[in-house]
Amino acid sequence: MKGPGYVSRIWYASFKAKRWLFFFDGESAPRLDLTPDELFGKADHFPFVPPLAGRSSGGKYCLVPMPFKESLRVEVEPEAVNPSDRNYFHINYTLLDGERVTVSESWPSELTPDMSNAVVRANQAFENTDRQLSDARDACLASAATATVAPGEEIDIVVAHGVGCIDAFAVRVESPIGGELVGQEVLRKLRLLGHWDGAKRPSIDVPFGDFFCNPFYPRWFSSYWLGNMDGCYVSRMPMPFRKGGTLRVRNTGRQAVTLRFGAKVSSDTSPGEPRRLFHGKWAASST
């Protein structure tokens, strides 16, 4: 990677590596030389500690940002190299415009107190996601409505006017409950649509389950922005609008679905630049 920039996420599954090596700014020796346990949260190796680093859903991940001023090369030392191995991994990184954004320092040999405190605060924020999502769910459903969406029909679950933001919304699937119908007729066949400022074309057009990280079957999880809390799907991703906003659910399946839903919407009367709009798209390939 040619900088400036930063690595935001590393993930792998079934990757037989003994060591992960990170060479910053053309250095001949790695500034970071870590075992998988040290990098992915199993060993007590600060700052690579849970929940910023750990194991989830059959893989291992690291969300500790790694800035680089000029360049970064990532290497691994494998345990063995076999033609039949299926080595899955992601390394997500962002390159910055050096004329507008500067990276003052690459990953340091030793973290400063401010850096260490930032890691602690981030971990505390992630550790409180259950409570935060539960509070958002309860607030949204305090004035909830219930409606049945027939096959081929759609309903509005949030309608807002003026200038403001959908701060959170929650949807509980009342029926069908359990079995394959949830996966077949709810998670993929319901479609979430979002329109901002009177636009005819949706800015959000995503299957309901995929939006909430539940594409094939319901599974409990919580994150900073999204979660499935005891069968209630919750989003805290801010969705601003300048001239009104609408969230809608369309039923493209063959089974009627009953939903209970509510939202927290705030108005924005402050002057200044409007916030950017939220977009979400989904695509699938048959190959």
* pLDDT surpassing 70 at residue 287: no
Give the 3-state secondary structure of 119-141: HHHHHHHHHCHHHHHHHHHHHHH
Provide mean pLDDT across the span 202-218: 93
Which candidate, 42, 80, 83, places its Cα nearest to that of 61?
A: 42
Q: What pLDDT digit, counting tens, does each position of 112-157 carry?
A: 999 999 999 998 888 888 888 999 999 999 989 999 999 999 999 9
* pLDDT surpassing 80 at residue 180: no
Q: What pLDDT digit, counting tens, does each position of 83-95 carry?
A: 887 888 999 999 9
Provide mean pLDDT across the span 243-264: 95
pLDDT at residue 272, rounded to an integer? 63
* pLDDT surpassing 70 at residue 286: no
The alpha-helical segments, DSSP class H, found in the chain are 36-39, 113-127, 129-141, 180-181, 208-211
The DSSP-derived string for 187-221 is: ITTEEEEEEETT-SS-SEEEEHHHHTT-SSS---E
